[in-house]
Structure 1
Amino acid sequence: MVRRTDWPLPPPDDGRAPAGSGPGAGGARRAGRGRSRGRSEPSGERVRETSLSPEERARAICLRLLTGSPRTRRQLADALAKRDVDAEVSAAVLDRLEGAGLIDDAAFAGAWVESRHHGRGLARRALARELRTRGVAPAVVDEAVSRLDAGTEEETARELVARKLRATRGLDREKRIRRLAGMLARRGYGEGLALRVVREALEAEGEDAEGLLED
């Protein structure tokens, strides 16, 4: 049976600077940097962990990871397993953090799709693959990628080709086709869409695209 403890949740971020961050703290921080330069993790952090209960230690590990960036439940579970946290303790801690809203795979997946599509131009297929590797459940993955409609995906493919088109000028026709279509394929676009978008871009430029397969 896992022993549960009542943990206080982390206080909300009200935008105020932490204690010791005012103007008078600059000298102390500079002095501290000089002493700690070259250290990776304070040894005191590891020492404090040994004085915690198994659940408190697992929770501390998760909160440190979540402070850096959002994580899926699977990612946190894997991190706890690597730190030799008991599976039953891990499940109890993750359940509690999930109930408090600190773990939300659906929100993670939605933000991932938005960021990676607009930032990297990834298509639904590539986005789904990335989410699956991070342990997001198939139904949650499907829901997240379904928000990216086919029209938006095609528009992004056209923008990607337009940005790369100039860099392929001077190459022979077949090399241009392979390079542009390959760039879209690596981002998860289907072959039919990729070839159609490339063909239309080359024709608009005056390139003879005859023989390029249509979808």
Structure 2
Amino acid sequence: MISRSRSKASCPQKTHGIIVLPQRQMRSKEKGLTLQGSQADAKTYALKLLSFRSRSRKELQYRLKKKGFSTEQIDVTILFLERAGLINDENLAAELLRYSSERKSLGAKGIKAFLVKRGIDKELIHKALTAHTQDIEEESAKRFVEKKLKTLRNYPEEVIKRRLLGMLQRRGFSTEVIRKVMHLSL
């Protein structure tokens, strides 16, 4: 029987019932590569994140910081991505507003909360919401009510009204829009 010997560095060691794993090779950042190497890693990681979905400047800063990159590397990476046109919070705000209005059926307050959660600047949110008219909000609320009426049709009218009112309020629709849509739909 041939015995293969392992070096002590690659074998787990037991000490007092606790298994101590050997240290793995240090990552390139820990090896002390030049700033350019780490900068390239930051850019690569940011591009990988952007390949999944569009992200705001704040989201990328948070994720890069969480990954362990320095603030200087993060700033250079963000600047590079902005110059390349890969990060644009204004376009992202408009895209997310359209998505949250059409797909998620959110009202103005719900959209604002959604955009804040995604890291969009409050100025950009205000700018995007001013373009979002009440007609668009009413249309979104109508679609939502029509969809929900299909599932609530077996309930008494009072219960339907109460549930729809609560659902619309939780989605961030204004009381004016809710009143108008409820009057038209029921």
TM-score (norm 2): 0.76
1:149 maps to what in 2? Answer: 133
Match status 1:159 vs 2:143 = yes
Distance in 2 between the 1:114 and 1:49 partners? Answer: 40
1:91 maps to what in 2? Answer: 75
Total equivalences in the alignment:
157
Distance in 2 between the 1:118 and 1:49 partners? Answer: 44
Deviation of residue 160 (structure 1)? 1.6
1:4 maps to what in 2? Answer: none
Distance in 1 between the 2:173 and 2:167 partners? Answer: 9
Aligned counterpart for 2:96 among listed residues 64, 88, 112: 112
- Structure 1: runs of 5 or more not aligned: 1-45, 203-215
Distance in 2 between the 1:170 and 1:97 partners? Answer: 53
Aligned counterpart for 1:168 among listed residues 148, 152, 162: 152
1:34 maps to what in 2? Answer: none
2:56 maps to what in 1? Answer: 72
2:18 maps to what in 1? Answer: none
Deviation of residue 169 (structure 1)? 2.4
Equivalent residue letter for 2:133: D
Distance in 2 between the 1:124 and 1:190 partners? Answer: 7
Deviation of residue 167 (structure 1)? 2.4
2:184 maps to what in 1? Answer: 200
1:135 maps to what in 2? Answer: 119
Native 8 Å contact 2:137 2:177 kept in 1: no
Match status 1:62 vs 2:46 = yes
Distance in 2 between the 1:71 and 1:58 partners? Answer: 15
- State the identity %: 27
- Structure 2: runs of 5 or more not aligned: 1-25
Aligned to 2:173, the other structure's residue is in SS state coil
Aligned to 1:161, the other structure's residue is in SS state helix
Deviation of residue 105 (structure 1)? 0.6
Equivalent residue letter for 2:180: R
After superposition, what is the alpha-carbon deviation per residue over 1:147-167, rounded to whole angstroms, capped at 9, x for unaligned? Answer: 221112112212221222232
2:162 maps to what in 1? Answer: 178
Aligned to 1:53, the other structure's residue is in SS state helix
1:11 maps to what in 2? Answer: none
Distance in 2 between the 1:142 and 1:54 partners? Answer: 37
Equivalent residue letter for 2:93: A
Moved more, 71-80 or 83-92: 83-92
Distance in 2 between the 1:167 and 1:134 partners? Answer: 31
TM-score (norm 1): 0.66
Deviation of residue 118 (structure 1)? 1.3
